[in-house]
Structure 1
Amino acid sequence: MRNLWKWLGLAGAVGVATGGVLIARDQRQRKAYSADDVRERLHQRLAEVDTAGGEDERT
């Protein structure tokens, strides 16, 4: 029974470490965009929403 708890504890620690790595990688990717890149992407997304969703709301 002791070995079971040791393995569960180890698995939990590995899960926490993996989550930290994924969050750090996501942050690095997000910071890689310049302000102009972010602005351009937001304008693109807004234009897509206006063309796709705007027709449904008006009718």
Structure 2
Amino acid sequence: MRAWKLLGLAGILAGVATGAAVARDERVRRHYDAREIRDRLHERHAEAVARETTAPAE
């Protein structure tokens, strides 16, 4: 019975840790304003297009 209690406690602690990590990531994500997100997306798109045009055709 003691093993089940420890397993349950470990599960609860894992859930709390996961929730804290998700909350931290959400705060970091929301810190960007719309212009920064748009600029980052444009940069990623330009990099993808550049990789596509420099990749050898098969």
Same fold at TM > 0.5: yes
CA RMSD of aligned residues (A): 1.3
Over residues 11-57 of structure 1, what are the superposed CA-to-partner deviations in whole Å (9 max), with x where a residue is unaligned?
00000001100111111000000101001000100010001123338
- One-letter amino acid matched to 2:54: E
Aligned counterparts, 1:5-44, within 5 A: 5-44=4-43
What CA distance in whole angstroms lies between the structure 2 residues aligned with 1:54 and 1:18?
Answer: 43
Q: Percent identity?
A: 39
What CA distance in whole angstroms lies between the structure 2 residues aligned with 1:43 and 1:30?
Answer: 17
Structure 1 unaligned blocks of 5 or more: none
Structure 2 unaligned blocks of 5 or more: none
The equivalent of 2:46 in structure 1 is: 47
State the secondary structure of the residue aligned to 1:38.
Answer: helix
What is the TM-score of this pair, normalised by structure 1? 0.88
**Structure 1 runs of 4+ with >6 Å offset:** none
